[in-house]
Amino acid sequence: MLMAGADDVAPRLIGFRLVRVVGGLVLSGEIVETEAYLGARDRASHARGGRRTPRNESMYARAGTAYVYFTYGMHHCFNVVCAGEGDPQAVLVRALAPLTGLDAMREARGGVSAARDLCSGPGKLCQALQINRTLDGCDLCMPGPLYLAGPEPGATAPRVRRDRRVGLGDVGAWGTRRLRWFVTGSPWVSVKGAGETGKPGGPARRNKRA
DNA sequence: CGTTCGATTTGCT
DNA sequence: GCAAATCGAACGC
């Protein structure tokens, strides 16, 4: 299931649970928003052009490996590597509906009180679940400090909507492809470009300098 | 070795 | 709406 193209895995991960075990506590949430990064050909990917560096090495690992990177000098983002070894495709997890360990999440988030603000963004959820580069490269398919679990038994499959990816620079046509998936109407998704208006989504943002 | 910039978040205008 | 925060990776010379 995890070994497939990122645009196939991303929508399927919606509804899965992300589980973090730390300090004897279990912090977890249901995945409600994902984005696919399609590998060497994808201009928005860290592996664009086949780039392979110490930072993105995990993207080239086998399906089910975690890719955690540090950005903007202060935030971490968590991805699920999903293609075959040597094929750097990954799914960015952008938001969770918190399930367990809410108090620990609040503390890790610096006293943020609103549950809505705990995991509604890729940087937020990493802070809430204490995910950092020490977890880069870990196996997400086995119970451990960080792993994936299927939807809760009996859970109804959420209605999913798709839209363009968020926060990209100028990546040409790759900026308009609808490679983001999220639960329709969910209050837990990242606010920015939530796409609940029904329109296709505005023009690609952040085109600094010509 | 210097410069640019980022798969973001937050707070202020 | 817009800019600051903050630092390492990537890239040019």
From the CA of A129, how many Å to the C1' of B10?
19
pLDDT, position A191: 72
CA distance A10 to A43: 18
From the CA of A75, how many Å to the C1' of C3?
18
From the CA of A15, how many Å to the C1' of B12?
36
**Any atom of strand B under 7 A from CB of A124?**
yes
From the CA of A143, how many Å to the C1' of B10?
34
The predicted model gives A43-69 an average pLDDT of: 95
- A150-193 pLDDT, tens digit each: 998 898 999 999 999 999 998 999 999 999 999 999 999 997 65
| Joined tokens for residue A89 | 């495709």
pLDDT, position A61: 96
**Any atom of strand B under 7 A from CB of A58?**
no
Closest CA to A68 of A115, A130, A142, A112: A130
Output the CA–CA distances (angstroms, integers) from residue A86 to A8, A40, A89, A100, in the order listed: 18, 10, 9, 35
Positions of chain B reached by protein Cβ under 7 A: 5-10
Give the start-end residues of each E strand in A38-73: 66-71
| Joined tokens for residue A78 | 């968590």
The SS3 call for residue A177 is coil
**Are residues A63 and A84 in contact, defined by beta-carbon separation less than 8 angstroms?**
yes
- A192-210 pLDDT, tens digit each: 655 554 444 445 545 444 3
From the CA of A153, how many Å to the C1' of B1?
57
pLDDT, position A112: 85
From the CA of A13, how many Å to the C1' of B3?
39
**Any atom of strand B under 7 A from CB of A24?**
no
Amino acid in the structure at residue A151: P
Return residues with beta carbons within 7 A of strand C.
A 46, 51, 53-56, 70, 72-74
**Are residues A131 and A75 in contact, defined by beta-carbon separation less than 8 angstroms?**
no
pLDDT over 70 percentage in chain A: 90
pLDDT, position A100: 98
Give Cβ neighbours of residue A24 (< 8 Å, ≥ 6 apart): none
First to last CA, chain A: 41
pLDDT, position A207: 47
Q: Indicate the pLDDT class of residue A122, thresholds 50, 70 and 90.
A: very high
Instruction: Give the nucleotide nearest to A92 (CA→C1').
Output: B7
Supply the mean pLDDT for chain A.
91
pTM recorded for the entire structure: 0.94
Positions of chain C reached by protein Cβ under 7 A: 5-11
CA distance A132 to A109: 14
CA distance A79 to A36: 9
User: Which residues in A125-153 are b (16+ Cβ under 10 Å) and which e?
Assistant: bbbbbbbeeebbebebeeeeebbbeeeee
> A24 phi and psi, to 5 degrees?
75, 5
Q: Which pairing describes strands A146-149 and A160-163: parallel, antiparallel, or unpaired?
A: unpaired
**Any atom of strand B under 7 A from CB of A75?**
yes
DSSP 8-state class, residue A118? T
The predicted model gives A131-160 an average pLDDT of: 95
Task: Assess whether pLDDT exceeds 60 at residue A33.
Answer: yes
- A80-110 pLDDT, tens digit each: 999 999 999 999 999 999 999 999 999 999 9
